[in-house]
Structure 1
Amino acid sequence: MNIQEKLIDLELALLKMWAATGIKEIYKYKNRIKIYKREGLSRFELFYDLSHSMFTDVEDTANGDDLYAEECKVSVEVLIKRREISGTPPAPTIKLGDKELLTAQEEIARINSKYYADRQRFHDRGRQLAHFQSSLDWLKQRFEEEWNFELGIGEVVEEIIYRFEGRGESDAG
């Protein structure tokens, strides 16, 4: 049994042990295999590959500026099936001499970058919308509690609320 076969057997044993303990997904960061949990939760390190030759079919998130655990996570069950069927993990798909592959990877990186920029803009707009909604809610509460009975103020506040809600002009104006 050569070294590569021993590493594959070790990978399979580790994967089966992790699956038995309930670990569903893993990802790789700087040759460390970690448990994937949804964004924001702590992630525990399972294994540190000092040989840099194990789990070659799990993309290392440290290999790119725009690689995230969410995108590089891999199902433990899928990895087990790959190793049981083939006996070896698939070779890394990157061929540095292949010009078309590099062009495609650059395009994917560009698209990925735009996606995350759009996602951040959407998140920022959502936060801004939530701020406006809380301001409108505060305005409605003040209108109902205090300003409704004061001469002149009630009509102005009612007009502001109607315009913020996109209803046009109120009957008060």
Structure 2
Amino acid sequence: MSGPARPFPPGDSGGRPALTFRLGALQVAAPILGGLLAGTALANVLLVVTAGEYMTSGELRSCLSAVVIASLVVPALPSRYGVELTHNWLVVLGNRRREIAWRDIIGLEIRKTAGIRAVIVVVADGRRILLRAPMSLLDRRFDHKAQILTDWWVAGRGGPYGG
């Protein structure tokens, strides 16, 4: 899939984000809900192995209630993970804000872990930074977003040869 011929919007001064990729509500909730369900199952198995008995219906109801509450609350929370594309910077959003100049990025890689693809940014100083967004989990447009990110990187470096 080819990206836009001119990835920077006209008149972009480079200071404000022109494009932002964030995780969707289901992309945030799915791993958490899966973990809670797996934790409930594991707790039940450990209880059987160590004590020889299953969870009581009250204990199981408490665990499943936590899963239901989390399934309602987590998707409503705003996603703080993502990336912003500006004329001069790739801004990584997460626990903290990290700005990486396009010229300092020497490569972008797509990594697949447990069937989920994500973008890794390779920086000139040797760091490899995993971007939390975009990611392929529940996102059919991942390939398109990865191509846009690549186009911005090429344009931000000054062309296909880093000019």
Q: Verify same fold: TM over 0.5.
A: no
Which structure's residues are more often strand, by fraction?
2
Which structure's residues are more often helix, by fraction?
1
Bin the TM-score by the shorter chain: under 0.3
Under a length normalisation based on structure 2, what TM-score does the superposition of the two structures give?
A: 0.25
Q: Which structure is larger by alpha-carbon Rg, 1 or 2? A: 1
Under a length normalisation based on structure 1, what TM-score does the superposition of the two structures give?
A: 0.24
